[in-house]
Copies of this chain bind each other. A is one copy, B any other.
């Protein structure tokens, strides 16, 4: 066990709870007061760990990103490159969007439409994270091209764009419309992207 000071433990618990809360109410809907109540902390006690609400929001994004890598990306790296790995990423993402630590659906999907018209460090961090995420999909597809699984003249960025579109459509159908066919539609659409 590495040396974990008391403050770090609390801060971790706060971020854990904040990620779950923000997935339901958005990053802007996060409130220091309700967050403190949920964790039996005082507002000022919680606030002390972050110098501002904006800093809290950025760290919430970073914390969710770490979880995302562990849940979606890292396990997929155990799969062979190309199609199997892309399929694993896709399935892992479906699980991620329904996982218990994300009771309101994928935090990044919610944050994307919430922050796209704002400016500042929170938006900047989210934009970078989403760029990286699309990059992961594009890179994985590129390796599939090199392995001869996809047409040599195919555009990896186009594929990443399309694949994320399938995920966003699933998110919409599942969470807003509560469509029980959302998952089936998503899988069908994803398979249609493969040769």
- Residues 103-141 of chain A: 1 if any B CB is under 8 Å from the residue's CB, otherwise 0? 111000110111111000000001100110010000000
A175: Cβ under 8 A from any B Cβ: yes
Give the chain B neighbours of A12 by CB distance below 8 A.
Answer: none
**Contact call A24/B117, Cβ cutoff below 8 A:** yes
- Residues 1-39 of chain A: 1 if any B CB is under 8 Å from the residue's CB, otherwise 0? 000000000000000000000001110110000000000
A114 to chain B, nearest CB (A): 7
CA distance A38 to B154 in the complex (A): 49
A91: Cβ under 8 A from any B Cβ: no
**Contact call A172/B112, Cβ cutoff below 8 A:** yes
A55 to chain B, nearest CB (A): 21
**Contact call A116/B105, Cβ cutoff below 8 A:** yes
Give the chain B neighbours of A189 by CB distance below 8 A.
Answer: 158, 161-162, 165
Contact of A113 among B113, B177, B182 (CB under 8 A): B113
Q: Which of A104, A176, A181 has the most CB of B within 10 A?
A: A176
CA distance A77 to B175 in the complex (A): 30
Give the chain B neighbours of A68 by CB distance below 8 A.
Answer: none
Task: Give the oligomeric copy count.
Answer: 2
Main SS class of interface, A = helix
A158 to chain B, nearest CB (A): 5
CA distance A24 to B188 in the complex (A): 33
Q: What are 28 A-to-B residue pairs whose CB atoms are below 8 Å? A: A25-B117, A26-B114, A103-B117, A104-B116, A105-B113, A110-B113, A112-B172, A112-B176, A114-B114, A116-B175, A117-B175, A127-B176, A130-B172, A130-B176, A131-B177, A134-B177, A157-B185, A158-B188, A161-B185, A162-B185, A162-B192, A164-B169, A164-B172, A165-B168, A165-B169, A165-B170, A165-B189, A168-B169
